[in-house]
């Protein structure tokens, strides 16, 4: 056990020294891994922020139910209470016609002109806030059911743009998954190829080691540690890129969100993202190295 | 200790390098394999080191048919051998000390034991003062002696050497052979492939002459000791 541990420490240090001896090549490989990890991570962050933003516009799915002019206020309140009990409805508010008229007069500044009218032309209005998890289909069904009520004149619903945003975010989420898969495969190939070249350049040494009785594990281990170090450096670089990107973009993006009258806070890089990036880097480094040594080391035999 | 029993080794395209070869080497013996180029000397040593496997017949070591060893057991088998090559196969980027230490690192010895044994081996070949030198800074003879130190540092029971003096001048060749003689004196079984017949007369040991992959009678019986 002690020998095994010592061998691992020796290989780990040896791999680091090997990489330090060729800093430019190491940096380039680590940079490729870092960029490949940072890209899906930043895309993922973009999608998460998009979702957060869409969810932050709470009233985006709210819709208005205009009742027939002349409907009694008591009827309106009773209807509001009934609707609130329906599935997929979170809250219903009643704006009576007089209040609406007063608000309209105040908001438009046409108070005096409106006073010339014979009566209040506005109906009582119900403001319906659907449940947050309601689907588009259920929302439309709800609207259709409300239209069937005799007291209801118009149901005004406009969630199309939020749905479009959600569709774009869904699409982006899939792009993140596909991009992550493609980039991880790319990193595996890059690390694998780097290790392959490393194996080829140390062919003589491998032959000698095998001739002296080195086991496959003994010969394989230094290359796996080289791959692992590539993964670690790549992960670190990815984290630096993500933090830098966040630092540069957070100000302008927060301003943009503010312009849309939303107080939603921008999501930064959280611990789970960092953990995923680190795990991805280690997997890509070690996995790429493993794929290379599995294919190429067995082919090198003393002759 | 080592027995070849009707061993044939056939290479694709070049035919049989060794043909129905049978002989035995006893424990502590020093055996010289002689013969012209292509006679099968190197192939014979490769069969012992399991660099090659016999096409037919058995290669036995301590009664065990090593020709049938599974691949996973080959490293363990090789750790019992000391191997010296004509081109010494030293790692150019590592010092003499580090080259000699390699088999001990593979064997898993402690750092202290490795240092002690490597220095003892380098001392035996007269290169202790050059332990930090890389092969490029050493002469051919010195490189070959580092190779020998690496081969004996694990105290192998069997040492095989393929043309160990092939690149050396006669004086250095004799020095190397005397070195082998010293290891043989302490009980190491030796098989040395060489075409340098002049050296054999100055050393003890048995000669196995090969021609076209088969045993043949030495041309000069006086060379058989």
Q: What is the CATH number of the domain that holds B70?
A: 3.40.50.300
Q: What is the DSSP string of chain A?
A: -HHHHHHHHHHHHHHHHHHHTSHHHHHHHHHHHHHHHHHHHHHHHHHHHHHHHHHH-GGGG-EEEEEPTT--HHHHHHHHHHHHTSTTEEEEEEE-HHHHHHHHHHHHS-HHHHHTSSS--PPPEEEEEE-TT--HHHHHHHHHHHHTSTTEEEEE---HHHHHHHHHHHHHHHHHHHHHHHHHHHHHHHHHHHHHHHHHHTHHHHHHHHHTT--HHHHHHHHHHHHHHHHHHHHHHHHHHHHHHHHHHHHHHHHHHHHTT--PPPP---HHHHHHHHHHHHHHHHHHHHHHHHHHTTT----
Look at residues B156, B182, B209 and tell me which one is the last residue of a structural domain: B156
Residue B141's domain comprises 91-156
Q: How many domains are contained in chain B? A: 2
**B39 contact A CB<8A:** no
Same domain, A136 and A198: no
Q: What residue in B sits closest to A10 (Cα-Cα)?
A: B105
Contact B205, B223 (CB under 8 A): no
- Quick check: A209 and B76 CB within 8 A? no
pLDDT classification of B220: cutoffs 50, 70, 90: low
Same domain, B127 and B70: no
Per-residue pLDDT of chain A (303 residues; tens, 9 = 90+): 777 788 888 889 888 998 998 899 899 989 988 998 888 888 888 877 777 776 655 566 788 899 998 889 999 999 999 999 998 888 899 999 888 888 888 877 777 777 777 788 889 999 998 887 777 788 888 888 899 999 999 988 766 666 776 777 788 888 888 988 888 888 888 889 989 998 998 898 999 999 999 998 899 999 999 999 999 999 999 999 988 888 888 788 778 777 765 666 677 778 888 888 888 889 889 999 999 998 888 888 887
User: What average pLDDT does the segment B132-141 reach?
Assistant: 92
Same domain, A33 and A168: yes
Q: Which of A215, A103, A80 is nearest to B103 (CA)?
A: A215
Residue A225 lies in a domain: yes
Nearest CB to B51: which of A10, A209, A302? A302
pLDDT at site B222: 44
Residue A273 lies in a domain: yes
- For B5, residues 6+ apart whose C-beta sits below 8 A from its C-beta are B22, B57, B58, B59, B60
pLDDT at site B218: 63
Write down the ipTM of this complex.
Answer: 0.88
Rounded to whole angstroms, the Cα distance separating A173 from A286 reads 27
Same domain, B138 and B43: no
Same domain, B17 and B69: yes
User: What average pLDDT does the segment B53-77 reach?
Assistant: 92
Q: Please list every residue in chain A whose beta carbon sits closer than 8 Å to the beta carbon of residue B107.
A: 213
Residue A49 lies in a domain: yes
Residue A211's domain comprises 2-56+163-296
Rounded to whole angstroms, the Cα distance separating A152 from A147 reads 6
Look at residues A150, A181, A211 and tell me which one is the last residue of a structural domain: A150
Q: Please list every residue in chain B whose beta carbon sits closer than 8 Å to the beta carbon of residue A204.
A: 89, 91
Same domain, B13 and B72: yes
pLDDT classification of B221: cutoffs 50, 70, 90: very low
Q: Which of residues 98-137 of B touch A (CB under 8 A)?
A: 102-103, 105-108
Q: What residue in B sits closest to A11 (Cα-Cα)?
A: B105
**A3 contact B CB<8A:** yes
Same domain, A30 and A171: yes
Task: Please give the backbone phi and psi of residue B133, each rounded to the nearest 5 degrees, phi first.
Answer: -75, 145
Look at residues B107, B132, B156 and tell me which one is the last residue of a structural domain: B156
Give pLDDT tens digits for A153-197: 998 876 666 677 677 778 888 888 898 888 888 888 888 998 999
Q: How many domains are contained in chain A? A: 2
Q: Which of B98, B108, B52 is nearest to A301 (CA)?
A: B52
Same domain, A223 and A291: yes
Residue B106 lies in a domain: yes
Same domain, A140 and A206: no
Residue B212 lies in a domain: yes
Question: pTM for the whole thing?
Answer: 0.71
Look at residues A116, A150, A184 and tell me which one is the last residue of a structural domain: A150
Look at residues B104, B127, B156 and tell me which one is the last residue of a structural domain: B156
Nearest CB to A211: which of B49, B105, B108? B49
**A210 contact B CB<8A:** yes
Same domain, B127 and B172: no
């Amino acid at each position: 056990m002690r020998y095994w541990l010592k061998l691992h420490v020796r290989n780990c240090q040896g791999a680091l020294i090997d990489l330090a001896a060729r800093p430019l090549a190491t940096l380039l490989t680590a940079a490729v891994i870092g960029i490949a990890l940072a890209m899906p991570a930043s895309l993922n962050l973009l999608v998460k922020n998009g979702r957060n933003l869409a969810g932050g516009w709470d009233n985006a799915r709210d819709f208005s139910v205009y009742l027939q002019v002349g409907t009694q206020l008591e009827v309106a309140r009773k209807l509001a209470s009934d609707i609130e009990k329906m599935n997929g409805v979170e809250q219903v508010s009643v704006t009576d016609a007089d209040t609406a008229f007063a608000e309209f007069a105040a908001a438009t500044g046409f108070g005096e002109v409106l006073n010339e009218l014979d009566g209040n032309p506005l109906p009582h209005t119900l403001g319906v806030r659907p449940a947050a998890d309601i689907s588009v289909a259920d929302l439309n069904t709800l609207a259709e059911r409300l239209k069937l009520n005799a007291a209801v004149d118009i149901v005004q619903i406009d969630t199309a743009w939020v749905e479009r945003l959600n569709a774009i975010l869904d699409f982006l989420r899939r792009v993140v998954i596909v991009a992550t898969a493609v980039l991880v495969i790319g990193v595996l190939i890059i690390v694998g190829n780097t290790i392959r070249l490393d194996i080829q350049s140390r062919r003589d040494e491998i032959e000698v080691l095998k001739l002296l009785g080195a086991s496959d594990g003994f010969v394989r281990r230094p290359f796996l540690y080289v791959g692992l170090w590539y993964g670690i450096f790549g992960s670190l670089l990815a984290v630096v890129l993500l933090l830098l990107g966040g630092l540069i973009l957070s100000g302008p993006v927060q301003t943009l969100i503010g312009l849309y009258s939303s107080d939603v806070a921008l999501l930064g890089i959280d611990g789970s993202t960092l953990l995923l990036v680190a795990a991805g880097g280690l997997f890509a480094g070690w996995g790429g190295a493993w794929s290379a040594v599995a294919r190429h080391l067995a082919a090198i035999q003393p002759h | 200790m080592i027995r070849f029993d009707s061993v044939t080794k056939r290479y694709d395209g070049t035919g049989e390098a060794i043909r129905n070869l049978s002989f035995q080497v006893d424990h502590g013996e020093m055996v010289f394999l002689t013969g012209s180029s292509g006679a099968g000397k190197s192939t014979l040593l490769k069969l012992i080191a399991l660099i090659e496997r016999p096409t037919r017949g058995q290669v036995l070591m301590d009664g065990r048919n090593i020709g049938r060893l599974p691949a996973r057991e080959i490293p363990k088998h090789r750790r019992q051998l000391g191997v010296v090559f004509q081109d010494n196969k030293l790692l150019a980027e590592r010092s003499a000390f580090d080259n000699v230490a390699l088999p001990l690192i593979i064997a898993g010895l402690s750092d202290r034991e490795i240092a002690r044994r490597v220095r003892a081996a380098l001392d035996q070949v007269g290169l202790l003062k050059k332990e930090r030198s890389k092969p490029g800074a050493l002469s051919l003879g010195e490189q070959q002696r580092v190779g020998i130190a690496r081969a004996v540092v694990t105290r192998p029971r069997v040492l095989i050497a393929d043309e160990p003096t092939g690149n050396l001048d006669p004086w250095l060749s004799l020095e190397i052979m005397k070195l082998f003689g010293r290891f043989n004196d302490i009980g190491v079984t030796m098989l040395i492939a060489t075409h340098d017949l002049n050296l054999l007369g100055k050393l003890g040991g048995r000669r196995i002459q090969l021609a076209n992959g088969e045993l043949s009678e030495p041309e000069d019986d006086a060379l058989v000791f």
